[in-house]
Each structure stands twice: as C-alpha cells, then as structure tokens.
Amino acid sequence: MDYMTLLICFIASVLVTPLVKKLAFKIGATDKPNNRKVHQKIMPRLGGLAIYISFLIGYFILTPNSQYVKVDAMLIGSTIIIITGVLDDMIELSAKIKLLGQVLAAGIVVVYGGVQVDFVNLPFGGTLEFGFLSIPLTMLWIIGITNAINLIDGLDGLAAGVSSIVLITISGMAIMKGDMFVASMGMIVLGGTLGFLVYNFHPAKIFMGDTGALFLGYMISVLSLLGFKNVTIISFIVPVIVLGVPISDTFFAIIRRVVNKKPLSAPDKSHLHHCLLNLGYSHRQTVLIIYGMSAIFGLAAVIFSKVTMWGSFLVLAILTLAIEIIVEKIGLVGKNYRPILNMVRVFKLRN
C-alpha cells in the first residue's frame, strides 16, 4: 500500500480545486439559491472534477493489476460518470439523460469489466445463484448507491465527509482481507476527496456538484462490490451497513413519498440533514452528527464481519432498531410516523 500516493492525491486536489472553481464560474457551472437550497448566494459547483483529476493522478501512479476487474473498465465508467456530471452541473440534464449516463457507466464495469455478484452462500448451507439476474442486480446496486450519495449532498461538506468515512471503512476492511487493489483504489479516491473537503467544509467555497456526487457514488458502489462479491449472505450485508447513512436516507425518502402519495422523483426538504436542521442544530453541528452516524455504521460493519453468525444477527437487529428509533425521533418519514415510540409510550402509561 503506497501511502505516498494518497498524500500526492490529497495535495493534487488541494492545488486543483481553486482552478476548478474558476472554471466553474467561466462555463456557468453554478448553483443558484432557491427555496430548497440552504445556501444564500451563487456558488460554483463542478468541484468533483478536482477529485477526479487527483484520482487520475493516483491511478496512473499505481497502475494496479487486478484479478477482479479490468482496471480500464473502471476508468472508462468513471469518465462517463464525470462527463454526465459536468454536463448536468452546466446545463441541468433531464433525469432520463442522467440515468442513461449511469446505466452506461454501470454497464461498462459490469459487462466489460466483469464485476458481477453471481451467487451468495446461504448461512445454513446451500448457494443462492442469481443466474441471468446477476447483471441487472449488480447494475441496480451501482446505480442505486450512485444516486444515494447524490441525495445526501445537501450541506457543505456532507457528501464529501460521509464518502470519506465510507472509503476509509472499505479500504480498511480490504487491507484486513489482503485485497490491496480495492484498498489502493479506495485510498486514492479518499485522498482527492479529503483535499476537496478543505474547500467544501462549512462555510464552503465550492460545491462538488453532480460531478462529484455521482463520481463518488459510482466509485464507492464498485469498490464495495469488489471487496465483498461472491461471499456468504451474512457478509454480503457488510457493504449495506458501511453505506448505512445514504441508503437509510434514500430508503426513507422513498417511504415518505409513497406515504404522502408523491412521485419518487419529487424533491423535498425532509432528508436527514433537513430534519436535523429543523430540530435546531446548526449547519456544522448537523454535518458532524451525520459524520458520527456514518462512523458508527462503519464500526458496526467491521464488528459485523468479525463476529459469529448469531452475533451478526444481533448486530443487525440492534442497528435496525436504532435506525427506526432515530427515524421516528427526527421525523424522517413524517411527524406522525412513530410506531415504536407510541408503543413505548403506551407501555409506560400502563405501568
């Protein structure tokens, strides 16, 4: 593991981000305030381009060879994602065009690169073969996580910080498994993300835009697949736990829209960060709280991967209960959605 490459990517991102900021203003890749936005002035986006450039520098320094994936497939796929993000930051692409870019990027790494989850070993014996569903399920994972990271990109430093914690977890677990390819790729993306975070933490001087959110989501989704493919069904839950914050926020956003009978693509101001802001936490406090949540998920994933099968069930049960209570407390689905808290209140009244 070349930690010098991580440092080079960090420095490259710190040096390139101000240049990208100037470019964003020049080509009109800016974010204007509106009733859904937290910021109050025109902000440059496109910051993800700096993360991508620093990633390229680290990529060509390492020139890794992998038994899991043709590395050029990951490079081609991430480039398609970057082009999609840059165009969206400039001219705001339609949802269909953005999805097309994501499908192409996912298809490159799945079909050409051979990154597929073909089967999982069941806990009590036997194997679950995905067969012809292997490709669509793998692509669904990549596209889903790509958009999940995009959805949490609502506050200064939020998506970059959460992605950094996820990348640290994925890379750390890869090192424990001896998978130096996944560890190396995760660390060079981490270096660029941390360098960008220097300018993106509150108060932000530049946003990552869809360029950054889509790129980070794409890389995280692919690396998490590479690190945990074709394993037991229990271990297959590990990347889901690692990505607990963005997945939970996306899942409950879908539930919220179904409950309120709104289109799944309808924007709102009820995501995790909005709910915490509504409870009175400051911008910076909200971001740090979500960082803490993400770190807890990362730690839980490591514990989950090390305990016995029954221990893993216990960890999963505790996590699920904790998520549900937090969701009800902060009103992530709605103010009236409090089934467990209402049960506890009724129980207390009876006793």
Q: 3-state DSSP call for residue 130?
A: coil
Residue predicted with more confidence, 178 or 335 = 178
The whole-number average pLDDT for the span 173-187 is: 88
Using CA atoms of 303, 308, 311, 313 in order, give the dihedral in degrees to the nearest 10: 100
- Is the alpha carbon torsion for 227, 144, 72, 54 positive or negative? negative
Of 112, 145, 274, 269, the residue nearest 218 (C-alpha): 145
pLDDT in tens, 263-294: 766 667 778 888 888 888 998 999 999 999 99
Q: What is the pLDDT of residue 66?
A: 47
CA 110 from centre of chain: 19
Q: CB of 189 within 8 A of CB of 36? A: no
Gyration radius of the chain's alpha carbons: 20
Domain ranges in the chain? 3-350
Lowest mean pLDDT among 73-87, 160-174, 227-241: 227-241
Residue predicted with more confidence, 63 or 61 = 61
CB-facing half-sphere around the CA of 349: CA atoms within 13 A: 6
% of the chain beyond a pLDDT of 90: 42
Residue 170 predicted with pLDDT over 60: yes
Q: What is the pLDDT of residue 233?
A: 57
| Residue given tokens 């996306």 in the structure block | 250
d(CA 316, CA 326): 15
Q: What is the pLDDT of residue 68?
A: 45
d(CA 218, CA 273): 22
Q: What is the 3-state secondary structure (H, E, C) of 229-271?
A: CCCECCHHHHHHHHCHHHHHHHHHHHHHHHHCCCCCCCCCCCC
Token pair recorded at residue 64: 């890794």
Q: What is the pLDDT of residue 109?
A: 93
Residue 3 predicted with pLDDT over 90: no
The whole-number average pLDDT for the span 290-319 is: 87
The whole-number average pLDDT for the span 321-329 is: 89
Q: Where are the alpha helices (DSSP H) in the chain?
A: 3-27, 48-62, 71-91, 95-107, 134-151, 158-177, 180-200, 209-228, 238-242, 244-259, 272-278, 283-306, 309-330, 339-350
The verdict on whether residue 65 carries a ligand-binding annotation is: no
Token pair recorded at residue 284: 């910076």
Q: What is the pLDDT of residue 222?
A: 92
The whole-number average pLDDT for the span 190-209 is: 95
Mean of the per-residue pLDDT values of the chain: 86
The verdict on whether residue 31 carries a ligand-binding annotation is: no
Q: What is the pLDDT of residue 294?
A: 92
Q: What is the pLDDT of residue 52?
A: 97
Q: CB of 156 within 8 A of CB of 201? A: yes
Q: What is the pLDDT of residue 17?
A: 97
DSSP single-letter state for residue 156: T
Of 104, 101, 124, the residue nearest 113 (C-alpha): 104
User: Is residue 150 very low, low, confident or very high in pLDDT (cuts 50, 70, 90)?
Assistant: confident
The whole-number average pLDDT for the span 100-124 is: 84
CB-facing half-sphere around the CA of 234: CA atoms within 13 A: 20
Q: What is the pLDDT of residue 351?
A: 67
Residue 123 predicted with pLDDT over 80: no
